[in-house]
Each structure stands twice: as C-alpha cells, then as structure tokens.
Amino acid sequence: MAGTRTVSSYSSATTFGAFMPSYWDSVLGENLYPNLYMYQFGTKRQIPRNFGIDIKIPRNTKQNIVQLVDGTSEGIVIGTCPLSSQFISGTLKQFAGAYRHSDVVIMTALSDVVELSLRDISRDLAKRMDSHTRDQLSAKGTFVGGSGITSSGGVTTGSVLKASDILKAAVLLEDADNPRPPDGHFPLITHPLAIFDLQSSLTGNSWLEVNKYGDSSTVGNLYRGEVGRLFGARVVTSTNVKRVNAVNEMSAAASGYRSMMFAPDAYYVTEVSDMTAKTFVKQLGSAGALDPVNQVASVGAKVMFTAIAADWGSERRMIRIVHGSDVS
C-alpha cells in the first residue's frame, strides 16, 4: 500500500486466524493504490481525529504585498497588508464493499476466496473513490475546447483532443503564475480513446513515450497510467474520465470527455492510511447464534475518503479540456 499497511478487524474460530490480518491489509493496498488515478495528483491531508465528518482546510488568499525599497525611499516604512484567509471544506464519504461466502464455497473452491474477494473489492473501491474525486473536480477550472473550440457548448463529437489544446492548457496554467511541478510538466489525465486522436494529429517528434524518458528521476516516479509527455504535460490515461454530453458543455447530440490538467495544490484529498482504510474478514461461526451451524463467512473492506476542489477563482490552478473523440 505504497509503504502503508492498514489495520483490520478479524474474527476467527481458530487461533491461527490472528496471524492473517496484516496479509489481508497488504492485499487491499496492493490492489487499491494502483487503481487510484486521481488520488495521485491531489495534495494529501490527514483526517484529524474527533473533528467530525466535515473537513476544513485553511488557506491564505494570494496578495501582492511585496514593495520595492530603493535608495530614494530609504528609512521610509513600507505599507502593510492585512492577512486574508479562507476555509475550503468537504464532507467525508465512506466507501465499502463486502462478499458473503457459504461454507460449501469455502470448502470446495479451487482458489482462496478471501484473497480473490479482497482483490475485487479493493479495485472497485478505487474506482468509486476515483469517480468521487473526478465528480468533485470536473466542473471546476478554466474551459478549453477540443480542436481549438473557444465557446462552452460549441464542442462537437468531432472536436477531438489535439496537441494544441494541451499546449494551450499548459500555457494558461503558466500564465497564472502557477509553479510547475519539480519535473517541469503539469499532469494531464485523459481517456485512452483520446490518445488515439491525439497521436493521430501529431507530426515530428513532439510526443515522448515513457520508455524514452532520459531523466532517471522521472522514470523512477512515473504516474499511474502515464503514457508519455507532450508540450509541458505528462499524459495519464484512465477509462474513468468524465463522460459529457449536450448537457455538459457539448453541442446538441454530441458526446465526449472532460480531460483535466492540474497545477500544484489544485485540489486536496484525504490521505488513505491505516486509520482510514480497513479490511474485515469474518470466518465461519463468527456470527454466533445468528449462524448456528457455521454456514456463512464474509470478506469486506471500507475506506473513509473525500476530495475537495480548491476553488481558486482567478488564480486558475485547474484546466478542463472538453473534447469529443473520433473513436466509437
């Protein structure tokens, strides 16, 4: 779990079961983290204990307070600016899933039903968490239309994602004085179908595939789903990118996607840790009198999590690229 192991609750009719929780936790982590595409770009915040389900994150608003002091103004006290701050907030969500297994399945299955169940649950948890993050962000940020479309509502299915759209998004983020990530590239997440449209429109050597990165520090820290770099962006693909239609910035009868590009601190996510992610393996007989002849066992996991969009307004830390696709 990227160095993290979760604490699980375990009920067993045998002494041996007490040795297993850390293993189930590792199964959860190994299948949860690799499928969290949106989580990786968010600024992580720990959930404080005993503060309720509403998370508040303070931030200072950007102000121009630095003044030039030269020889002609020596000894003159500079003016001061009051500190302006605000809270952005979100509500914790609980994501959970579980399977129930009969004693017959447990005794006759050809493979470990507990491990298979946890792998399936953790992958589904990751998709639900990513969908929540996506939905919190997808209507935010500055609009850029595919194929150079400038008006929201004017994007058609044929307004595919092009290199110029990515370049425009990166330039808009840089123009807003956003610091670039340490590697100098803003992350962009888009649908795999859009990669076909994008690469089909490219000429020359502008696209750099991940296996051709010359920077060893970048190669060792690839984003999950990263496929290449282009015009100041590191491109990541996920099938869980927001689908949009005529109701969401597309023209009539059109359908497409919202790709997203982020500057640092564009949004926050609560940290997935041993406090927030837990596994639950209940063996046959754990229900006591409610299961008198030990016929039912269960396997489950849950995560407390939320994503909070930082509504930066004129600071512009997020770009949404609305585009169609030529691939059906």
**Euclidean distance between CA atoms 51 and 225, whole angstroms:** 35
Structural domain includes residue 1: no
Asked whether residue 107 falls in the same domain as residue 248, the answer is no
Asked whether residue 198 falls in the same domain as residue 318, the answer is yes
Asked whether residue 273 falls in the same domain as residue 131, the answer is yes
CATH of the domain at 286: 3.30.2400.10
| Rounded mean pLDDT, 317-328 | 89
Phi/psi for 293 (5° steps) reads: -120, 30
**Euclidean distance between CA atoms 114 and 282, whole angstroms:** 10
Structural domain includes residue 104: yes
pTM of the model: 0.84
Asked whether residue 194 falls in the same domain as residue 318, the answer is yes
Asked whether residue 33 falls in the same domain as residue 59, the answer is yes
Structural domain includes residue 258: yes
Asked whether residue 196 falls in the same domain as residue 318, the answer is yes
**Euclidean distance between CA atoms 66 and 79, whole angstroms:** 10
* Span 207-228, pLDDT tens digits: 888 888 776 656 568 899 999 9
Q: Are 299 and 121 in contact (CB under 8 A)?
A: yes
Asked whether residue 281 falls in the same domain as residue 257, the answer is no
- Cα dist. 327→124, 145, 161, 191, 254 in Å? 26, 18, 12, 11, 13
Phi/psi for 260 (5° steps) reads: -130, 140
Asked whether residue 193 falls in the same domain as residue 319, the answer is yes
Domain count, the chain: 2
Q: In a 3-state reduction of DSSP, which class is residue 236?
A: strand
Structural domain includes residue 52: yes
Asked whether residue 219 falls in the same domain as residue 70, the answer is no
Structural domain includes residue 328: no
pLDDT at 13: 35
pLDDT at 219: 59
Asked whether residue 319 falls in the same domain as residue 189, the answer is yes
* Span 113-155, pLDDT tens digits: 889 999 999 999 999 999 999 999 988 899 999 988 888 888 9
Asked whether residue 169 falls in the same domain as residue 241, the answer is yes
Asked whether residue 227 falls in the same domain as residue 152, the answer is yes
Domain, as residue range, for 74: 9-135+268-309
pLDDT band at 99; cut points 50, 70, 90: very high
pLDDT at 312: 61
**Euclidean distance between CA atoms 148 and 250, whole angstroms:** 14
Structural domain includes residue 2: no
Locate tokens 């050809």: which residue? 110
Percent of the residues in the chain that have a pLDDT greater than 70, as a whole number: 87
CATH of the domain at 162: 3.30.2320
**Euclidean distance between CA atoms 19 and 10, whole angstroms:** 10
